[in-house]
A and B are shown apart, each in its own frame.
Chain A
């Protein structure tokens, strides 16, 4: 199955370990990623959307046009890119007046939004196109015994009428995917809480991150599993700052799903870039080595 991958800014530039993990694991799942030329920032669904929604939609539509011209569905690896591109695709394919306005601008660069492709977060491709069984079958080294506390993040699921991924209050998609690679899921109290990254107050995100991390620690999880680089940014760096500030050990490894999938498929910690994380992942690596 062929898809046009859209890695966005955060993964491409700041967290290339996530891109490496996706590319290497997708190959093992029989997913063909066809790289297209010319993508820009999605653009960012928080700050950029806050400036002018029509410009935001137009630049998003330009990215979608590139995939339309290639006749490929887009697969996104970041919840933020998923939000922008899915929202744009939804509004432009259901609101003809808006589409007309956007196309007037796109005409200047010789492009036209048609509404012929879909945008999907890669985890939905795993669940719906490839199937959980194929994910399970790709595993060579199950993660037996590793306890994962999931952090869903907001934009994979909401707004549900647009995202159409899962029940926004009782989702199961990530439980299914983490279980398929042999992880033990541990539920924690603040599992559904937002990471707070998009809030511009100083105090609110800090308190939220603190609560998520303490809830995770309490649950006995060995690591946090997530699917969004923005949430990762908040927790990986955030926990070090907060541990210092509160003089309390809030550190816990944060892993992107595809890094863990890579380890389960037999890739080395280096190949999925675990050494690039701020929080040490040694315990995970040791635990994995011990269980096999």
Chain B
């Protein structure tokens, strides 16, 4: 009963109205536009590993919050969206082609703009900007490659990459 009535409960209990502005923002973020097709069937939950292993993560609830435009819950620091394992099972299961994982990634993109994204995310971007790679080359990596008969690691033309970061 609880799950079925969540949508109405959420509105009644939280005294929040739908934030259409945030929904518009989500619609204009790549991958976020399909969130409105969600009819809360919960097919995304059954095989979601993060939901299986934690009560704090439920893709259907995240989609419900997206339908209501609950910007605070979804894009605050340490938002539950960061617990998604990116396994793409919900993408397979959703009968409405909402692709919940892509909606979650769109929400992460919004967090990045608002500077509420997890610090690891920023580190990865900085690393790619600086060296073109996510993993730092060390003397150990060079030594191991040599030992295995592999060539030196090729440098990445980071000047080209820098041009691509600008909108």
Contact = CB atoms under 8 A, between A and B. Distances in A.
Interface string A182-213: 00000000000110101111011101100000
A139 B164 CA distance: 45
Contacts of B153: 12-13
A101 B7 CA distance: 37
Nearest to A36: B154
Contacts of A158: 87-89, 91-92
Contact of B88 (A16, A105, A159, A208): A159
A13 B164 contact: no
Interface residues of B, number: 60
Interface class of chain A by DSSP: loop
Smallest CB-CB A-B distances: 6 pairs = A158-B88, A50-B108, A20-B148, A47-B124, A194-B87, A40-B132
Nearest to A110: B160
Contacts of A16: 141, 144-145, 148, 150
Contact of A48 (B31, B134, B145, B156): B134
Contact of B49 (A9, A13, A51, A193): A193
Interface stretch (A55-63, A68-76, A173-181, A242-250): A55-63
Nearest to B56: A201
Given A38-B156, A62-B164, A106-B164, A51 B88 contact: no
B72 interface: no
B135 interface: yes
Interface in A76-108: 98, 105-106, 108
B85 A40 contact: no
A207 B105 contact: no
A20 B146 CA distance: 10
Contacts of B156: 38-41
B85 A37 contact: no
B157 interface: yes
Nearest to B108: A50
B84 interface: yes
Contact of B141 (A13, A23, A108): A13
Interface string A113-139: 000000000000000000000000000
Nearest to B86: A198
The number of chain A residues touching the other chain, given as a range, is 35 or more
A17 interface: yes
B85 A194 contact: yes
Contact of A45 (B86, B135, B157): B86
Given A50-B109, A194-B85, A201-B54, A168 B92 contact: yes
B120 to A, nearest CB: 6
A14 interface: yes
B131 to A, nearest CB: 9
A176 to B, nearest CB: 22
Contact of B137 (A13, A55, A106): A13
Contacts of B150: 16, 19-20, 23
Nearest to A200: B82
Nearest to B32: A53
Interface string A150-177: 0000110011100000001100000000
B109 A200 contact: no
B49 A194 contact: yes
B3 to A, nearest CB: 21
A110 to B, nearest CB: 9
A155 B105 CA distance: 15
B53 interface: yes
Contact of A50 (B49, B117, B137): B117
Contacts of A287: none
Contacts of B154: 37-39
A54 interface: yes
Contacts of A9: 133-135
A59 B157 CA distance: 12
A50 B153 CA distance: 27
B139 to A, nearest CB: 12
Given A62-B164, A158-B89, A40 B112 contact: no
18 contacts: A13-B133, A13-B136, A13-B137, A13-B141, A19-B145, A38-B154, A40-B156, A47-B124, A47-B125, A47-B134, A50-B108, A51-B125, A108-B163, A199-B50, A201-B54, A201-B56, A203-B53, A204-B54
